[in-house]
Structure 1
Amino acid sequence: MTIAIAVAVLAAAGTWLVTRGGGTRLILGFILLAHAVNLIIIAAGGAFRREAPIVSDTLDPATTADPLPQAFVLTAIVITFGVTVYLLALVARTESDSTTHLGEPDDPEAAVNRP
């Protein structure tokens, strides 16, 4: 139940940040959503209910956790890191560009000029 609550909080906060607008909020929301998905995959793999899949003489496949979801999450962490770095560079480049100004997300007059 704790994992479900953590996933709900991460997904809600991530969705809220993504919908608020602004580059930094978008990046933080994306990171929170990625963490929520990673928790869902780990919870679905049963890593919390079983033993670690370490090779030994007394290894019982019925009591060990499936390593495939853990490999998926490790891959997702690397991909999320790469996308986050790309988004940070994109936001830094956009904010340093003096030809484009979208205004503040809460400014009603600037909302008319947004794409």
Structure 2
Amino acid sequence: MEPLFAILVGLFFAAAIYLMLSKFSIRIMLGIAILGNAVNLLLFTAGRLTREVPPIIPANLDTLPEGAANPLPQALILTAIVISFSFLAFLLVLTYRAYQDIGTDNTDEMRVAEPLDPPLPPMGY
């Protein structure tokens, strides 16, 4: 099962890099979201994929039984999901506001919309 997930992680990373190299901000955002999912899947796969022994310490033992899944990557993934969702929501609002002000999501056209001359300083009394 791990080789299948390794191939899937590779495909996620490839798709994320392809999308992040685009000049459209929506594609860049989708690439960042896919990159976050690829990292989460990589951490999950590194923590062992097993359904036979859950990561629960029995009452008569002090440590996890042999062959149990590692619970630390699972906890890290839960935290990463919350952080990546808030980051994606921030990027979505930022992209929407930029589209409202400039009228495009093309990053090349956004650079053209920058003012060429700096504004004059206010006149003092």
1:54: Cα distance to partner?
A: 3.1
- The sequence identity of aligned pairs, in percent, is 37
1:56: Cα distance to partner?
A: 4.1
Residue 21 of structure 1 aligns with which residue? 23
Residue 70 of structure 1 aligns with which residue? 74
* TM-score, normalised relative to structure 2: 0.74
* TM-score, normalised relative to structure 1: 0.80
Instruction: Note the 1:30-69 alignment, pairs <5 A.
Output: 30-46=32-48, 48-49=49-50, 51-57=53-59, 61-69=65-73
Provide structure 2 residue ranges, at least 5 long, that are not aligned to the other structure.
Answer: 115-125
Residue 10 of structure 1 aligns with which residue? 12
Alpha-carbon distance in structure 2 between the residues aligned to 1:55 and 1:49: 15
Q: Indicate conservation of the 8 Å contact 2:25/2:105, yes or no.
A: no
RMSD: 2.6
Task: Count how many residue pairs are aligned between Structure 1 and Structure 2.
Answer: 109
Residue 90 of structure 1 aligns with which residue? 94
Alpha-carbon distance in structure 2 between the residues aligned to 1:111 and 1:35: 28
1:23: Cα distance to partner?
A: 1.5
Bigger Cα Rg:
2
Provide structure 1 residue ranges, at least 5 long, that are not aligned to the other structure.
Answer: none
Alpha-carbon distance in structure 1 between the residues aligned to 2:60 and 2:27: 49
Alpha-carbon distance in structure 1 between the residues aligned to 2:37 and 2:75: 15
Q: Indicate conservation of the 8 Å contact 1:102/1:113, yes or no.
A: no
